[in-house]
Structure 1
Amino acid sequence: MKGVTFMQQKIGIIMNGVTGRMGTNQHLIRSIAAIRNQGGVALSNGDTLMPDPVLVGRNQEKLEKLAEQHSIKRWSTNLEETLADKQNDIYFDSQTTVRRADSIRKAIKAGKHIYCEKPTATSLEESLELARLAKRTGVKNGVVQDKLFLPGLLKLRRLIDAGFFGKMLSVRIEFGYWVFEGDWQEGQRPSWNYREEDGGGIIVDMFAHWRYVIDNLFGNIRSVSCIGAIHIPQRLDEQGNKYTCTADDAAYGTFELENGVVVQANSSWAVRVIRDDLLTIQVDGTEGSAVAGLRDCKTQHRVNTPKPVWNPDIPNPHDFLSQWEEVPDNQTFDNAFKVQWELFLKHVVADEPFPWDLLEGAKGTQLSDLALKSWKERCWVEVPELTV
């Protein structure tokens, strides 16, 4: 508009733990650096919001190298100093789980808005404490729930909103891949993932994801039954030293939803992949079915469903895989982490809605805790409603 001047506003972000794989790749390179490279986040009033990050961690050499690679001027090994700096508005945490809660607590007390990875803490009590502390102090807060913004799940959401499934009946989630033990091939996940004392375990890791995926797409969880396993009892760490695995590397969960839908979720770092993707979600309904991966989604409507007959005495006459149709993109999909970062930044500055807060993060921790209880006691466990 002629005569109107739009402004660029800086927002300081403390990024703690970005020297790790997820923090570097998804949060720094593909989110904050990408947002800076595109010229910031466009606000509804025409202004732009430019992230001004300060990288925080324990390894000075790694921080300095990352900052130089991505044209970031600020880095520090002193968290307290960055929290005291008034030009920093947001505290982001992607450290290992055992370190997260204490740092978030300090950031809330310093008046910073909070955005963090999940699990938000190692126990439900601590996760709820953080949510309540944030509510009392009035800081805005959010938790990474990246899978909701994956192209495959966005297409699944599109089908649900369109009523494609009719009455939804069941959901089957298959996640995982083979993580090498480290003897003849180096493991592709950090060793702490397999030590309970360091916050490891696939239940703690993945059930936080299953909570928000199930809640947001399929319905509220009423109860859970879970069996975990330590399939690989020994692995080699990053220094080549053998260690005993004390945390579960596989989990087999069943969830009963309030609307009657039954969800099964298999999670494993000891499975070899024979499916379209590392994560697949199959939804079956009276009117149709769909299978979503990270980026793609296939459907089979009621009218296109084949009519197989059980007969093991003849070769299978059906090419079942060819009988599914691809859901078209119909839009350009950005990186899932980046999309949620942009939403959170607009929430902080422009007060736009952002429902994925620390309470939602606590729900993920709750489900992990209850799944571990179910495994230990070999029983179904009810999932009570959480409030702050």
Structure 2
Amino acid sequence: MTRKTVRIAMNGVTGRMGHRQHLVRSILALRDQGGLDLGDGTVLWPEPVLVGRREHALRALAERHGLEHWSTDLDAVLADPSVDIYFDAQVTSARQEAITRAIEAGKHVYTEKPTATGFDGALALARLAHARGVRHGVVQDKIFLPGLRKLKRLVDGGFFGRILSVRGEFGYWVFEGDWQQAQRPSWNYRAEDGGGIVVDMFPHWEYVLHELFGRVTSVQALTATHLPQRWDENGKPYDATADDAAYGIFELDGGAVAQINSSWAVRVNRDELVEFQVDGTEGSAVAGLRTCRVQHRSTTPRAVWDPDVPAGEVFRDQWQEVPDNTLFDNGFKAQWELFLKHVHAGTPYHWDLLAGARGVQLAELGLRSAAEGRRIAVPEVAL
């Protein structure tokens, strides 16, 4: 067995998502299992190089996990020929410039989304990466989670017949920060810092809809800032200038209609923090991040509306659980493995910067739709 080291500059891993999902549960988890076995006698050994602006945070993180390499000098890291991949989990406003520098340095690029603060910038990244011949990927973690993988299995197996509609509910109550600490950073609620739920979540909805049901052809959205004041990490009040809720209708190629509500000001009365109900001529399904339940046409009870009589049935009990039928690994780690194989062996990979640009486009058009109060067509994206 041959071990090949792949060095990954990881920028932004002192933040919650970058640290927990990408460093610990993906890269370090791969090291804990002995590396990534490619099946050809080669094992890829990921070697993270932590990058960021806060020296004390980087040093503490490296010491906690027994890592040797970290730096506050991104240019020096990108100039190092031993670094193969640049990964970005910074705040959105800093991402485009850093990724551009990485591509120009000849590094393969893997990044969180949104890939830029605007569609033009996101498309420019995709075109630059294509022109420079580097390999590139964008995190699209939801489609690697068990619930949506089961849903994809149903779609591929023809379970639904003709798909009619998709209904999505996402969100939870993010504490304002005064009497309980907020679960999300304060910049998420300032538009001037790149915050807002449309910018954050519409890129997710784009790839979920695109991958499972069809390309989004139009968007109509209504946004709101339900909580106009919040408190930051230092307990200081600030004005929330970004949207904290969005209510969207998306037309899909093929005729299906998707409705997705996204909110950081909603209390959860669902089995999971996000759920999608898919209705088709032959059957329906409700999928969360881990579970998926179905009701086939042949087992659909006859519902009758009668508000004067108490409901005699427990409707949730009429659905059947979809079995796992396989072992599901962490969704972030699963996509990291595919990207590393793509970089090393050129295996097919389509979750790239062009796909990332589609997500930014949908967010931009969603905000425009909300501002103008109208339905907006979504053009196809090409290099």
The TM-score normalised by the length of structure 1 is 0.98
Distance (Å, rounded) in 2 between the aligned partners of 1:269 and 1:319: 29
Q: 1:214 aligns with which of 175, 193, 209?
A: 209
Is 1:271 aligned with 2:269? no
The aligned residue for residue 43 of structure 2 is 48
Distance (Å, rounded) in 2 between the aligned partners of 1:282 and 1:348: 36
The aligned residue for residue 226 of structure 1 is 221
The aligned residue for residue 102 of structure 2 is 107
Q: 1:245 aligns with which of 233, 240, 243?
A: 240
Distance (Å, rounded) in 2 between the aligned partners of 1:385 and 1:309: 43
Distance (Å, rounded) in 2 between the aligned partners of 1:16 and 1:184: 32
The sequence identity of aligned pairs, in percent, is: 61
Distance (Å, rounded) in 2 between the aligned partners of 1:148 and 1:235: 32
The aligned residue for residue 72 of structure 2 is 77
Residue 184 of structure 1 aligns to a residue in which SS?
coil
The aligned residue for residue 198 of structure 2 is 203
The CA deviation string for residues 310-341 of structure 1, in whole angstroms up to 9 with x for no partner, is 11111111110111111011111000000000
Contact kept in structure 2, 1:298 and 1:324, CA below 8 Å: yes
The aligned residue for residue 181 of structure 1 is 176
Q: 1:35 aligns with which of 20, 30, 35?
A: 30
Distance (Å, rounded) in 1 between the aligned partners of 2:22 and 2:349: 18
Give the letter for the 1:52 counterpart.
E
Distance (Å, rounded) in 2 between the aligned partners of 1:310 and 1:347: 54
Is 1:133 aligned with 2:128? yes
The aligned residue for residue 193 of structure 1 is 188
The aligned residue for residue 3 of structure 1 is none
Distance (Å, rounded) in 2 between the aligned partners of 1:379 and 1:186: 37
What does 1:86-105 correspond to in 2, within 5 Å?
Answer: 86-105=81-100
Distance (Å, rounded) in 1 between the aligned partners of 2:67 and 2:155: 42
Distance (Å, rounded) in 2 between the aligned partners of 1:113 and 1:94: 15
Distance (Å, rounded) in 2 between the aligned partners of 1:177 and 1:156: 23
* Cα displacement (A) at 1:70: 1.6
* Cα displacement (A) at 1:148: 0.7
* Cα displacement (A) at 1:44: 3.0
Is 1:64 aligned with 2:59? yes
CA RMSD of superposed structures (Å):
0.6
Q: 1:302 aligns with which of 297, 300, 303?
A: 297
Distance (Å, rounded) in 1 between the aligned partners of 2:305 and 2:162: 26
The aligned residue for residue 386 of structure 1 is 381
Contact kept in structure 2, 1:124 and 1:369, CA below 8 Å: yes
Residue 165 of structure 2 aligns to a residue in which SS?
strand
Residue 310 of structure 1 aligns to a residue in which SS?
coil
Which runs of 5 or more structure 1 residues have no equivalent in the other structure?
A: 1-5
* Cα displacement (A) at 1:68: 1.6
Distance (Å, rounded) in 1 between the aligned partners of 2:279 and 2:193: 38
Distance (Å, rounded) in 2 between the aligned partners of 1:70 and 1:293: 32
The aligned residue for residue 370 of structure 2 is 375
What does 1:319-358 correspond to in 2, within 5 Å?
Answer: 319-358=314-353
The CA deviation string for residues 70-111 of structure 1, in whole angstroms up to 9 with x for no partner, is 221101111011001111000000000000000001001100
Give the letter for the 2:365 counterpart.
L
Distance (Å, rounded) in 2 between the aligned partners of 1:169 and 1:317: 28
Residue 49 of structure 1 aligns to a residue in which SS?
strand
Contact kept in structure 2, 1:67 and 1:74, CA below 8 Å: yes
Contact kept in structure 2, 1:98 and 1:122, CA below 8 Å: yes
Runs of 4+ in 1 over 4 A off after TM superposition: none
The aligned residue for residue 160 of structure 2 is 165
Q: Tell me the matched-pair count.
A: 383
* Cα displacement (A) at 1:65: 1.5
The aligned residue for residue 147 of structure 1 is 142
Contact kept in structure 2, 1:308 and 1:318, CA below 8 Å: no
The CA deviation string for residues 150-202 of structure 1, in whole angstroms up to 9 with x for no partner, is 00000001111111111111000100000011111111110000000000000
Give the letter for the 2:327 counterpart.
T
Contact kept in structure 2, 1:290 and 1:300, CA below 8 Å: yes
Give the letter for the 1:332 counterpart.
L
Contact kept in structure 2, 1:224 and 1:383, CA below 8 Å: yes
Residue 100 of structure 1 aligns to a residue in which SS?
helix
* Cα displacement (A) at 1:61: 1.4
